[in-house]
Chain A
């Protein structure tokens, strides 16, 4: 029967725990283009997009009414 203690588990999974590829995420880095959001630019872009984006809402709903998902009928 296995012994269910922290020490026993550490020995049991020693090899796995030493495998940085499996468990260590400390090397995770964000893409270089990550910058703080410029809220003014965000609002400006949104304002610029209003007419074109909401202007196509009827077309989008018409597409939804075709009852297709990724080209397949549902």
Chain B
């Protein structure tokens, strides 16, 4: 049984055709995230920062590998949005694709700049959770601050975080979890 499962996992990750498909999905997600980042910058909301594309690629690639491992192991056709949000957060905060300019020279760097990758990761997760704040209420700044604290100072497990995402979505959409 374990042998059969291992075969499925290896087939998923190492099959060249499948890798090609995943690469396509990585490129699409990268383009979307990059465009969103550029738009945020255009509106002057993340000054003094750049998006490192190599780090972003690695984060999204790692996200897909994580997700594919879970899908192959369980075996499931599609991942639910809570895992998508959670594993996106996991890799974005691990690899921190948003890089600050002149950080070494700046003695007055703010918490706002230090935490930008974590904040951006939550932002991306909200969109993956199907939360459009023109339709739903925003979570409170207190909740976001606590989530930000957890992401910055604590170890984050993707599967546990997906449960947090599920509860967050239920709360904002006013559904009983």
> Which residues of A come within 8 Å of B, CB atoms?
25, 28-31, 33-37, 39, 42-54, 56-65, 69-70
> Which residues of B come within 8 Å of A, CB atoms?
28-29, 32, 35-36, 39-40, 43, 45-46, 73-74, 76-81, 84, 110-112, 115, 119, 123-124, 126-128, 130-134, 138, 141-142, 144-146, 148-149
A33 to B, closest residue via Cβ = B80
B40-A39 in contact (CB<8A): no
Known: A45-B132, A46-B32, A64-B111. 7 other contacts (CB 8 A): A34-B76, A49-B126, A49-B133, A53-B123, A60-B144, A60-B148, A65-B111
The DSSP consensus for interface residues of chain B is helix
A59-B141 in contact (CB<8A): yes
| Partner pick for B32 among A39, A54, A58, A63, CB 8 A cutoff | A39
| Partner pick for A45 among B77, B131, B149, CB 8 A cutoff | B131
Q: Complex Cα distance A31/B170, Å?
A: 14
Q: Complex Cα distance A44/B35, Å?
A: 11
